Structure formats: structure tokens, C-alpha cells
């Protein structure tokens, strides 16, 4: 995930191959990364598992944009952050069909939801745009009082989900 060999990585490959998710990267943490790239610039590396591109690693930028789209039925407003492909990776971080994917940090923190991207005819996104999870979660809590991301007993929760599908 990180190309620097002079510092330890935040990412530890899980022995069971499943990255445990928990916590949330705040907008302030997005703007103040704690790791450095090869050039010494502060960055966050992020992971995504998408329907089209599967698991990819990207670089979360510190830039945030307020986006407003106008439709006959009303306006849509959001905050979006660009994600670039991994430093020397020539493939795209995302492609069509990956929208809605959860973006997480190297330590499993919720970072953002994938919204879209730009494309120069490469078949994938040169820049992927994501909405900060902190902002999305505030909207979810407004709509669904008592919503919770933390499960005391994950095995029990998953067993309940499996029963609901039967």
C-alpha cells in the first residue's frame, strides 16, 4: 500500500483475509494526513472493493469540493473528494459499476462512498470522486433515527442477517 520503506505501514494484511471495519475518518483527518508519499507529501492511502474493478488502492487527496447539480425535480448537493490511482499504478482506481463502493482507510476506517469519476477514454476513471462518509452518515442518521455502525457481536449480527434472507 505504501511504497516508502523507511516508515512502517498502517496497513496490516489480515490473516483471515478480511479487513475489520470500524471508526470513521473525519473531514479534519482527511485534511491532515499522517503518512507521507515518496516525495514526502502528506497523503492517505485508501482501499475499495468495487463490483467492476474489485480491490484497488488509491491516494485520497486533501481537496474537498462542494458540488451542486440542477435537475427539473430539484437540486442535488454534495461534498466530494478526488481519489487518484496509486502512485505508479497505471490502472484505474474505479470504473463504471463501482459507484456506491465503500472507501476505507488502511486501518479499516470508513472514509467515503464512491460517486463517479472522469475518463479520458482509458476505460476507467483518471480521477474518482467520493463523498466523505462523515457527511453521508449525518444524512443517514437524520433519516433513520438510532442508526448504528457498531455491532457488539458481529457474528450474532451476521447470523441475524442470514436468517432474514432465508
* Extents of the domains making up the chain: 27-165
* pLDDT value, residue 147: 79
Provide the pLDDT for residue 26. Answer: 85
pLDDT computed for residue 91 by the predictor: 73
pLDDT at position 141 is 87
Type and span of the H or E element at 70: strand 65-71
Phi, psi dihedrals of residue 66, rounded to the nearest 5°: -90, 125
Express each pLDDT in 16-36 by its tens digit: 767 778 888 888 888 888 777
- In the prediction, which pLDDT does 102 show? 92
Q: Which fold has domain 27-165?
A: Thrombin, subunit H (2.40.10)
The pTM assigned to this predicted structure is 0.72
Ranges in the chain, pLDDT < 70: 1-15, 17, 87-90, 118-125, 150-154, 157, 160-166
Angle of CA points 106, 130, 61, to nearest 5°: 60
Burial class (CB in 10 A: 0-12, 13-18, 19+), 126: middle
Amino acid at each position: 500500500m505504501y511504497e516508502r520503506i523507511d516508515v512502517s505501514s498502517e496497513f496490516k494484511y489480515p490473516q483471515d483475509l478480511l479487513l475489520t471495519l470500524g471508526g470513521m475518518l473525519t473531514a479534519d483527518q482527511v485534511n491532515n494526513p499522517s503518512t507521507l508519499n515518496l516525495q514526502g507529501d502528506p497523503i492517505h492511502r485508501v482501499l475499495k472493493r468495487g463490483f467492476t474493478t474489485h480491490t484497488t488502492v488509491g491516494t485520497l487527496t486533501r481537496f474537498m469540493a462542494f458540488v451542486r447539480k440542477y435537475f427539473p425535480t430539484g437540486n442535488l448537493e454534495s461534498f466530494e473528494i478526488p481519489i487518484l490511482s496509486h502512485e505508479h499504478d497505471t490502472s484505474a482506481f474505479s470504473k463504471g459499476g463501482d459507484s456506491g463502493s465503500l472507501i476505507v482507510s488502511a486501518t479499516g476506517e470508513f472514509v467515503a462512498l464512491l460517486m463517479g469519476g472522469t475518463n479520458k477514454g482509458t476505460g476507467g476513471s483518471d480521477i474518482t470522486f467520493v463523498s466523505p462518509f462523515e457527511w453521508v452518515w449525518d444524512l443517514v442518521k437524520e433519516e433513520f433515527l438510532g442508526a448504528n455502525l457498531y455491532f457488539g457481536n458481529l457474528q450474532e449480527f451476521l447470523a441475524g442477517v442470514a436468517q432474514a434472507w432465508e
